Amino acid sequence: MSTPQESPHETWTGSAGARGPKVRSDCWAGVELRESGGLELELVSTVESYYGEGIRALLRAGCEALGLVNAKVRVEDGGAYPWVLMARLEAAVKDADVAGEDWLPELEAFATTSTSRDRFRRSRLYLPGNEPKYMVNAALHGPDAIILDLEDSVAPSAKSAARVIVRNALRQVDFGTAERMVRINQGEMGLADLSFIAEHGCHLVIIPKVEDAEEVHAVDARLRELTDAPVLLMPIIESAKGVMNAYSIATASERNVALTIGLEDYTADLGVQRTKEGRESLFARQAVINAARAAGLQALDTVHSDVSDPEGLRAAVLEARGLGFEGKGCIHPRQIPIVHEAFVPSEAEASKACAIVRAFRDAEARGLGVVSLGSKMIDPPVVKRALKTVEQAVQGGVLDASWESEEGGS
């Protein structure tokens, strides 16, 4: 069954979602408020024969929960999950300016897991915040993090509805081991976004186009008002002013765990074209890396915008790693394996790191205050870097998890 198109004579007090014959895993909801007459519910669904009765029961419960008494409600369903149906109906009701409570789906156990400051963030997969069809299977691609994006990938007219989709996805979608990130909007709109994500299983908030520390302070302060959860922050530097203020931005909040750069907006701000060679952005990238390192944060690189260029991506990741970046943004799942592979230490790097860790632990066991490997002295920062290399090598399959019990360490 195909979903009907909107009639030119059709008027709705509030609406949200996607409609049309090509819609999959999503739906559209329209609400027409009336002065009397009770509630009228219409459903057109591509899965009517399987789930029609259940969907109607869900929608009736939603209308009651959202305070709809006298209204016509129409839902055009393209096989949406219950949490999507709930989000679209709630957004349509809010678009109609009905003052009701939020209609929250259950908070699943996997949405209550925590993250850590120094976890690996080699890959972060951007997902449009108003497109639930991309969210449900995102974990299958194995990114280190997923980003539910409320900013650039969402049209201005859809931003309010996207907030509800993102909130429900955080509560209902199993993203596996991926860190759950949300990129909010700029300014006051971004601060309003926080009320939809702060207490719903978001691990990390990405703040876009940051130009000064005050923007980070504002997000930090709003989070403190909303939740006791240890939500982390990652500012994105995307302008010349932001680059010049990178260190103050990096140190603006104890919630900051990483600093990243967005080169499309940065090069536009400079008035130059972004090139594969990247000479026009080298200063900015190094500034972000140095600011992050000085503040004790991870430095994460921008996205590679050409999905059809895997070799170019591989070269870009190797260059980024050589500069000091620890991760890269992905705009398509096929980019993730390339990013992971390029950020995995080589066997030689892993072997050297194992030797450093062994030498340090041997010296500790013997109560020695000085650690050396061959003719070179080993200080704590070197050991810390070696431990990180070993962890990356184990995660990437270069080292076995039991490497310490194996002779030679590889």
Positive/negative CA dihedral, 193, 55, 100, 91:
positive
Q: What's the rounded Cα separation, in Å, for the pair 203 and 194?
A: 12
User: Considering the domain boundaries, does residue 8 fall inside one?
Assistant: no
Same domain? For 73 and 122 the reply is: no
- Count of beta carbons in the 10 Å neighbourhood of residue 33: 16
> Which pLDDT value is given to residue 406?
66
CB neighbours of residue 97 within 10 Å: 9
In which band, very low, low, confident or very high, does the pLDDT at 7 lie, cut at 50, 70 and 90? low
Query: Quick one: DSSP state of residue 150?
Result: -
pLDDT single digits (tens) 219-272:
999 999 999 999 999 999 999 999 999 999 999 999 999 999 999 999 999 999
pLDDT over threshold 70, residue 9? no
**Same domain, yes or no: 359 and 280:** no
40-85 pLDDT per residue, tens: 999 999 999 999 999 999 999 999 999 999 999 999 999 999 999 9
Helix (H, G, I), strand (E, B) or coil at 363: helix
Instruction: Confirm whether pTM is higher than 0.85.
Output: yes
Q: Is the dihedral of CA 198, 201, 203, 209 positive or negative?
A: negative
Give, rounded to a whole angstrom, the gap between the first and last alpha carbons of the chain: 57
Query: 6 in a domain, yes or no?
Result: no
Q: Is 43 exposed, middle or buried (0-12, 13-18, 19+ CB in 10 A)?
A: middle
Does residue 311 carry a pLDDT above 90? yes
* Inside any domain, residue 230: yes
Together in a domain, 178 and 304: yes
CATH number, domain with residue 80: 3.30.230.10
Name the residue among 321, 273, 329, 278 with its Cα closest to residue 304. 329
Which CATH number does the domain housing residue 117 bear?
A: 3.20.20.60
Sheet holding 71-77, edge to edge: 14-17, 27-33, 71-77, 39-45
5 occurs within a structural domain: no
Among residues 70, 95, 120, the one where a domain terminates is 95
State whether 77 and 191 are in the same domain: no
Tell which of 303, 325, 343 closes a domain.
343
pLDDT score of 157: 95
Q: What is the mean pLDDT of residues 196-224?
A: 98
Strands (E) across 271-361 are located at: 298-303, 327-330
Q: What pLDDT is stored for residue 138 in this prediction? A: 97
Helix or strand run (H / E) with residue 145: strand 145-149
**120 and 251, same domain (yes or no):** yes
Average confidence (pLDDT) over 370-379: 71
Does residue 9 lie in a domain region? no
What the block records as the tokens of 394 is 């184990």
| 410, part of any domain | no
Last residue of a domain, one of 326, 343, 360: 343
Same domain, 84 and 143: no
| pLDDT reported for residue 3 | 44
Cβ neighbours for 34, distance < 8 A, ≥ 6 positions apart: 70, 71, 72
Q: Are residues 259 and 213 in the same domain?
A: yes
Helix (H) or strand (E) holding 31: strand 27-33
Residue 47 CB neighbours (<10 A): 14
Least confident of 107-111, 113-117, 320-324, 370-374: 370-374
Q: Are residues 374 and 336 in the same domain?
A: no
Residue with tokens 């990013």: 339
| pLDDT over 60 at 5, yes or no | no
Flag whether pLDDT at 2 surpasses 80.
Answer: no
Indicate the average pLDDT of the chain.
Answer: 92
Q: Where residue 375 falls among pLDDT bands split at 50, 70, 90?
A: low
Predicted local distance difference test score (pLDDT) of residue 370? 66
Q: How many domains does the chain have?
A: 3
pLDDT at 1: 39
> Reduced to 3 states, what is the DSSP secondary structure of residue 123?
strand
Q: Are residues 78 and 44 in the same domain?
A: yes
Q: Looking at 161-170, 186-195, 317-326, 351-360, which range is the least confident one?
A: 351-360
Residue 103 falls within a domain, yes or no? no
Q: Per-residue pLDDT for 197 more than 80?
A: yes
Structure tokens given for 81: 């999950």
H helices, E strands: number in the chain: 13, 14
Residue 163: inside a domain: yes
pLDDT value for 101: 87
Looking at the fold, whether 170 and 153 belong to one and the same domain comes out as yes
Strands (E), 175-254: 179-183, 204-207, 232-237
Based on the fold, state whether residues 366 and 272 are members of the same structural domain. no
Residues 224 and 268 in one domain: yes
Domain containing residue 313: 109-343
Residue with the bigger pLDDT between 173 and 408: it is 173
CB 366 within 8 A of CB 340: no
The region that residue 248 occupies, defined by phi over 0 for left and psi between -120 and 50 for alpha, beta otherwise, is alpha
Question: How far is Cα 331 from Cα 308, in angstroms, rounded to an integer?
Answer: 11
